[in-house]
Amino acid sequence: MGQSVDQIAIGSDHAGYSTKEFIKAHLGELGYTFHDFGTFSEESMDYPDSAHPVANAVQSGTYKYGILICGSGNGVAIVANKYTAIRAALCWNEKITILSRQHNDANIIALPARFITPEEAVKFVMLFLTTPFEGGRHQLRVNKISNMNA
């Protein structure tokens, strides 16, 4: 399947629900579209139930990028990083977000909804989507991520 940079896989747990909706509304105004893998309310749910489908959709190539949000960002990042083609980065400030793309070629951003504002989340997502991977020596390192014998 073809992938589109302007269409993004997104998911959250209950703690990240309102941040997810805020991101969708603000980036939607810029022409981005989303496949929302849930959750669809603030009712308690298990973060792997949305993280697995987002990671699978990015790994399969259906989407180039994914956004995952939970209270700490750690849970969804741990789930996503179980997939061999996923490089999920926990991002809580501008520099970490930029480096996750420049040096790690991250393809999923994990956001900690309880520690950042919705406005910061939008800023970090925009940085994530617009920062290119530098390649070069960083490509060599990224290649070693899935190679346990490197």
Return the active site residues: 70, 103
Taking the CA of residue 78 as centre, how many other CA atoms within 13 Å lie in the half-sphere pointing to its CB?
A: 8
Query: What is the b/e burial string over 65-81, where b = at least 16 CB atoms within 10 angstroms of the residue's CB?
Result: bbbbbbbbbebbbbbbb
| CA dist list (Å): 104 to 4, 32, 76, 94 | 20, 23, 18, 15
